[in-house]
């Protein structure tokens, strides 16, 4: 065969319609499969057709023909055209928060856990939380003590920490990785005067961060107080604001249900606004003094209804509240007596008191949820709905948040779903980056049902208890029925004896001189024997008058001591 002769490879002769052609390669070599980004993003586009844009209602005949174009324009105006759904909780999502950079999402739920989500590690096929936290997991009574999470919020000035508030008197400061950095002290419940307690004596309902000082935060409790904390000092609050209710039968106490701390963007004095269960709306000067409120509205909302939503505009002049009396009201801080606007809006505070209302970035809109599962975007001047879209129809929408940097809206619903709304042209990072990545190839190690835990070894002589084998119950499920994350480290089981033992770390950090409990008292006293001889501080007064100890001389023959008296017979 000559070198100039071409080499021809004969392939199988198949008909054009032969189904075998589907299994034959079209080319040689390694094929590179690239993700179709446009198709992935289009797949996340919301397909709801009942989006309604509400503006100036016209009764002209051509209004029906322009309804579709108006809806498309509003979709382009607000980042709601696409969505990413996160299903990591087991029960209703009560609070969501994004860090200042928009790269990490935390969510709290009634299932007593806080979920941490990182956008940089998620793909369209791996949308899940990288860590689940129980704020009371490390306590000795963790097996019996658990509380729903009322509020979580990243520090807007330092995204490395967030405020975690559960249905408990002690709020916590946690790192962005879920570690507890500080736990505020609990006050003495037997003290009547709340000015003298070092912390809350009953459940904390909500809280927020200082708008300009990254070390300060405020918490609102059911003990009729607001407490300002310095996160560097967990043993006592920095300031305590005691609200004395004037409602009949309240005996001067009521529950504080919501709090907001705002400051003008262009600079100026900040304000602290809070709502109470007796229907009052109270405003303090954010810089103090806190001896008495700067303004108070006694009947802002109906008494004994939970006002869970409150927020301050970016210019620090307007305050919006959402009460349990099915009303949303707009207030002017310069004329804090009567509401400027009041509109009806169905409340969900009967079942979910933590339902909130938020200003959009730059206060261009107001967003809130509804009992029907719709997201409402309201006009900040007259509170009329500008855009309404269904998120979880039939399930109440509890919490909302609009991040200013990535321009995305995060919602939490009663059906345990977290939705992230975005627009590919208007939004940046966040969910846009997640949906723009190639799907992760599924591996057998991703499924815990096909893996075996050999961390404890495998021995033929070991005693196996009933139900301890991997096949006795579904793999990846713990004995309590909760899902087991394969990336979570092994936590040793707590025995009843261990639960009854005190927490040695807590005792050593909070109880003075607690280290003396493990010290021998005899050796502790003998350490000062030589010092007492050289410098008899306490015995020097009677040193010269001390009696001399004298012992009787006993000879060798009298080993048993002197002769005893003979017993008379």
Q: What is the mean pLDDT of each run of 10 residues along the chain (569 residues)?
A: 54 72 65 70 77 46 46 69 93 94 94 94 90 78 70 92 94 93 92 90 95 94 94 91 81 90 83 94 87 90 93 93 94 92 88 91 93 94 93 94 95 94 92 88 58 45 48 48 56 60 72 74 84 80 78 64 56
In sequence order, the β-bridge partners of residue 388 are: 52, 376
**Which phi-psi region, left, alpha or beta, contains residue 361 (left: φ > 0; alpha: ψ -120 to 50)?**
beta
Rounded CA separation 15/277 (Å): 80
Question: What sign has the CA pseudo-torsion 14, 16, 22, 24?
Answer: positive
Outline where 93-199 has alpha helix (H).
Answer: none
What pLDDT does residue 287 have? 82
**Backbone phi, then psi, for 41, in 5-degree steps?**
-70, -40
Q: Write down all domains in the chain, each with its CATH number in brackets.
A: 67-440 (2.130.10.10)
SS3 per-residue string spanning 227-265: EEEECCECCCCCEEEECCCCCCCCCCCCCEEEEEEECCC
**Which phi-psi region, left, alpha or beta, contains residue 326 (left: φ > 0; alpha: ψ -120 to 50)?**
left
Rounded CA separation 383/242 (Å): 32
Q: pTM of the predicted model, to two decimals?
A: 0.71
Rounded CA separation 393/391 (Å): 6
Q: Is the peptide bond before 289 cis (omega within 30 degrees of 0)?
A: yes
CA distances from 188 to 191, 194, 204, 231, 511 (A): 6, 9, 15, 20, 16
Rounded CA separation 546/563 (Å): 31
CA distance from start to end of the chain: 143
With tokens 């919020």, the residue in question is: 153
Question: Residues 155, 207: contact at Cβ < 8 Å?
Answer: no
DSSP 292: S
Question: What sign has the CA pseudo-torsion 428, 430, 431, 433?
Answer: positive
SS3 state of residue 402: strand
């Amino acid at each position: 065969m000559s070198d100039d002769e071409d080499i021809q490879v004969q392939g199988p002769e198949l008909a054009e319609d032969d189904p075998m052609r589907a299994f034959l390669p079209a080319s040689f070599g390694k094929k590179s499969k690239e993700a179709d980004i446009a198709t992935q993003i289009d797949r996340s586009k919301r397909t709801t057709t009942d989006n309604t844009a509400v503006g100036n209602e016209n009764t002209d005949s051509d209004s029906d023909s322009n309804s579709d174009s108006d809806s498309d324009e509003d979709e382009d105006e607000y980042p709601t055209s696409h969505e990413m759904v996160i299903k990591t909780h087991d029960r209703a999502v009560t609070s969501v928060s994004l860090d200042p950079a928009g790269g990490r999402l935390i969510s709290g739920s009634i299932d007593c856990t806080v979920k941490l989500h990182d956008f940089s590690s998620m793909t369209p096929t791996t949308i899940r939380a990288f860590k689940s936290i129980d704020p009371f997991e490390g306590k000795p009574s963790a097996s019996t003590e658990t509380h729903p999470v009322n509020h979580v919020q990243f520090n807007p000035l330092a995204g490395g920490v967030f405020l975690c508030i559960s249905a408990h008197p002690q709020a916590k400061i946690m790192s962005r990785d879920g570690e507890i950095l500080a736990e505020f002290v609990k006050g003495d419940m037997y003290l009547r005067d709340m000015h003298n307690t070092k912390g809350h004596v009953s459940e904390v309902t909500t809280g927020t961060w200082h708008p300009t000082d990254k070390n300060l935060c405020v918490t609102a409790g059911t003990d009729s107080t607001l407490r300002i904390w310095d996160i560097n000092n967990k043993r006592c609050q920095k300031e305590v604001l005691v609200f004395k209710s004037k409602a009949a039968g309240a005996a001067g106490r009521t529950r504080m249900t919501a709090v907001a701390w705002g400051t003008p963007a262009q600079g100026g004095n900040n304000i602290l606004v809070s709502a109470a269960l007796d229907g009052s709306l109270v405003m303090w000067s954010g810089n103090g003094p806190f001896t008495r409120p700067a303004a108070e509205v006694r009947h802002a909302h109906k008494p004994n209804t939970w006002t869970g939503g409150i927020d301050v505009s970016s210019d620090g002049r307007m305050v919006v509240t959402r009460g349990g009396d099915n009303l949303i009201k707009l207030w002017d801080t310069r004329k804090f007596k009567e509401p400027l606007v009041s509109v009806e809006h169905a409340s969900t505070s009967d079942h979910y008191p933590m339902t909130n209302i938020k200003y959009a970035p730059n206060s261009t809109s107001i967003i809130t949820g509804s009992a029907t599962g719709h997201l409402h975007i309201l006009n900040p001047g007259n509170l009329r709905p500008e855009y309404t879209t269904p998120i979880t129809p039939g399930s109440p929408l509890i919490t909302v948040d609009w991040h200013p940097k990535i321009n995305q809206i995060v919602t939490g619903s009663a059906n345990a779903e977290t939705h992230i709304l975005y627009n590919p042209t208007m939004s940046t990072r966040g969910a846009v980056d997640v949906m723009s990545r190639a799907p992760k190839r599924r591996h057998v190690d991703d499924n815990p049902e096909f893996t075996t835990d050999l961390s404890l070894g495998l021995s033929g002589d070991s005693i196996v208890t009933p139900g301890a084998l991997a096949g006795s119950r579904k793999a990846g499920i713990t004995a309590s029925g909760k899902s087991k994350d394969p990336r979570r480290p092994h936590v040793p089981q707590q025995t009843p004896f261990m639960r009854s033992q005190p927490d040695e770390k807590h005792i050593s950090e909070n109880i003075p001189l607690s280290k003396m409990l493990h010290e021998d008292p005899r050796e502790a006293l003998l350490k000062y024997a030589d010092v007492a001889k050289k410098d008899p501080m306490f015995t020097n007064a009677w040193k010269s008058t001390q009696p001399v100890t004298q012992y009787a001389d006993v000879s060798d023959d009298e080993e048993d001591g002197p002769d005893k008296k003979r017993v008379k017979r």
